[in-house]
Amino acid sequence: MMKKSIAVGVTLFVLGGLSFWPAENSRMAISSTVVIDLPVEQSWEKMSDLAVSHYYVPDVVDTQILTEKTQGLRVSRRVFKSEDQYVDETVVEWNEGSGFVIKLHNETFFLPFNEGRFRYQIAEAGEQQTEFTGTMSFEPPMGLLGDWLFRNVLASPIEETVDQTVLSLRYFYETGQPVSEEIRATL
C-alpha cells in the first residue's frame, strides 16, 4: 500500500511539474485546404460575410455581429453552440480580397486550449476556381504536459473539425445552401 501511494505521489509530482514547464514551441496549427468551384472574387464576397458561419461550421447554430462594422479589422461576432453557449470571435488581421484571422475569446463553454485563432485564406486556383485554406492555431495549456496531450490525444478531433469546417464551407459557397448534418456526413 505504501509503495502504491509513493508511486501515485511521484506520478502526480512529475505530471504537475510538466504542466508548469513551458513547451519549447507551444503554438500549434492544423490546416485543411480545398478547391472551390468559384472565381476568387465571388469566394471573397462570400467569405467576407462574417454573419453566416452557422451555415457551415459544425455545431454552430447562430452567428451575431457585435460591432457596428460588419467587415474588416476589429469586427466581432458571437458564435453560438446553443442558446447559452457561445464564443466571441474578433478579426485581428484583415487582408482585403485574400483572407483574415479571427481570435476566439470570451467562451462560455470549455475550449481545450489557450489563445485560439482561425485563419481564412484564399488564392486563385484557376480561371474559375479558388483555393481555400482554413488554419486553426492555438496554444495548449499546461506546458509540456499539455503539448503532449494535444499531439497524442486532441490533435485528431481538432483536425477532424477543421476538415469538416473547410469541406462544409466549400459546399455552402458553391450551393448557397446551409450544411445539414446529413449533408456533412457525405462531404
Q: Is 175 helix (H, G, I), strand (E, B) or coil?
A: helix
End-to-end CA distance of the chain: 54
pLDDT at 24: 55
Q: What is the pLDDT of residue 176?
A: 96
DSSP-derived secondary structure letter, 109: S
Q: Which has the closest alpha carbon to 111: 140, 68, 133, 152?
A: 140
Find cell 492544423 and name the residue: 30
Query: What pLDDT shows up at residue 14?
Result: 43
Q: What is the pLDDT along the chain (187 residues), one digit of tens a residue?
A: 666 665 544 444 444 444 444 445 567 788 999 999 999 999 999 999 999 999 999 999 999 999 999 999 999 999 999 888 999 999 999 999 999 999 998 877 666 667 789 999 999 998 899 999 999 998 776 677 676 777 777 777 888 989 999 999 999 999 999 999 999 999 9
Range of the domain at 27: 2-186
Q: Domain holding 29: CATH number?
A: 3.30.530.20
How many domains, the chain? 1
**Residue whose grid cell is 513547451:** 23
97 φ/ψ angles, rounded to the nearest 5 degrees:
85, -10
Element (H, E) at 149: helix 143-149
pLDDT in the model for residue 13: 45
Place of cell 459544425: 58
- Rounded to 5 degrees, what are φ and ψ at 157? -65, -35
Cα 100 to chain centroid, rounded: 13
- β-pair partners for 134: 32, 120
Cα separation of 27 and 117, whole Å? 11
How are beta strands 62-65 and 28-36 bridged, if at all? unpaired
d(CA 50, CA 72): 10
Q: What pLDDT is attached to residue 118?
A: 95
pLDDT at residue 83 in the model: 87
Three-state DSSP class for 129? strand
